[in-house]
Structure formats: structure tokens, C-alpha cells
Amino acid sequence: MENFSEKIQSLRNEYSDLDLTSEDLNQDPITQFTKWLDEAIETQIYEPNAMVLATVDENAPRSRYVLFKNIVNNNLIFHTHYESPKAVEIFANPNVSGIFYWAEIHRQVRFQGKAKKSDSKVSDEYFKTRPRGGQLSALASAQSNIIFSREDVTNKIDELEKEYEGKEIPRPDFWGGFAIEVNYWEFWQGRRNRTHDRFCYKPEDNSWKIERMSP
């Protein structure tokens, strides 16, 4: 354990000399976010749309990775099973927070907001774009339920594949999108010697107030 502790404590990476100033930031945080996400995509980061989503149950916060899939009416959209733990927690308490982290370009975006079910049209349109295998797995999986083996799911998928052979697969009512209305944004640019640049956006008079934060 002592060697393990030393190994962990010695893990250090130096960041770049890139600066982030208030002049670099767009007044609209959604525009700033999409700009950074585009740059992460261009850098060919693996799954740059992966975000950690934190929800709260009766006793404690819970977090997991989900895939951000769209912006609709300035809301961040992700999709999931509506009977999954995260969905149940959102229905009980809509307050969520999340993080995008792009290690290769030394950037992080953090947000807080409220989540609600997205419009069914948004869910339907996205479901149609999913590969057929992804559509079948959405139908087959009771997400996060305890199962005996992987075959419980693959066998169900095989059955559904036969049932819908040559047919369009409908989006199940228990699967769809959530829309997150963000009320706080934070943009972080890693810099040398831990002198990171951090800025937050807070709503103020129908606009956004941008403030620099200590690293």
C-alpha cells in the first residue's frame, strides 16, 4: 500500500501555456460551450460528448457518464431509460450537475441546472437516428436492474430482432430524452504550475454575468 500511495502521489502532469481571458469568452455560455466542444471534436478526442451527470437520491449524490446528444432551446439533451435510477432521481429532484473533461486539450466545462423530460418529438427524432442494434437494446434492457447473465439481454434482443424483421422499430414509452436547463456554467483552462484560468457564468437581468475565479 505504501508503494501504491507513492505512485499515486507522484502522478503529475504539466499543463500548457494556453491562456483564457474574459476577452476570449462569448457572452453566451451555450455559444462558448459549442465552440469548445467543436474544438474537442476536431482534436479527435474519444467521445468528446461524454459527460459526468450527477443526480441526488434521498440520501446521497450519484454520478455516472452519459452521452450529450443535442442542444434544443438552449437545453442540453441526453437520453436514457425513464425507469433507470438516474431518471427516477430526476423526477423526484430535478437539480443536476455535470462535467465535460477533455484531458488532451486541458479543458473542463462544469454546469448546474434543472432537468425535465424532453419533448417526445425530440426523443422520437433521435431514436430514429440510432443504429438498429441500439434501438433493439433500448427495447430489451431494463436498465440497471439485476440480471442473471448477459444472455438475459441478448436473448431478448434476438427475440425482438425476429419480431421487427423488416419493420420500423418504435421508440418505447419508457425510453427517451431529458432536457437540462443550465443556470450555472464554469469554464476551466489548465495552465502551468496550477495557475489555471477559470470563469463562471451566472444569470443576471436576463443575461449572464461572467466572473474570473481563483484556480
**CATH class name, domain 17-129+174-213:** mainly beta
What are the residue numbers of the active site?
194
- Count the neighbouring beta carbons within 10 Å of the beta carbon of residue 89: 20
51/64 Cα distance (integer angstroms): 8
pLDDT at 29: 98
- Count the neighbouring beta carbons within 10 Å of the beta carbon of residue 184: 15
DSSP string of 32-71, one letter each residue: HHHHHHHHHHHTT-SSTTEEEEEEE-SSSEEEEEEEEEEE
Whether 176 and 79 have beta carbons less than 8 Å apart is answered as yes
pLDDT at 6: 85
pLDDT at 1: 64
53/66 Cα distance (integer angstroms): 7
Q: Are strands 175-189 and 75-81 parallel, antiparallel or unpaired?
A: antiparallel
Whether 101 and 111 have beta carbons less than 8 Å apart is answered as no
Q: Extract the C-alpha cell encoding 18.
A: 494556453
- Residues whose CB falls within 8 Å of the CB of residue 13, separated by 6 or more in sequence, listed in order: none
- Count the neighbouring beta carbons within 10 Å of the beta carbon of residue 16: 11
The domain locations on the chain are: 17-129+174-213
pLDDT at 94: 97
Alpha-carbon torsion (82, 88, 89, 93), positive or negative: positive
pLDDT by 10s per residue, the chain, length 215 = 668 988 888 887 777 778 899 999 999 999 999 999 999 999 999 999 999 999 999 889 999 999 999 999 999 999 999 999 999 999 999 999 999 999 999 999 999 999 999 999 999 999 999 999 999 999 888 877 777 788 888 898 999 999 999 999 999 999 999 999 999 999 999 998 888 999 999 999 999 999 999 99
Give bridge partners of residue 113 from the DSSP assignment. Answer: 96, 182
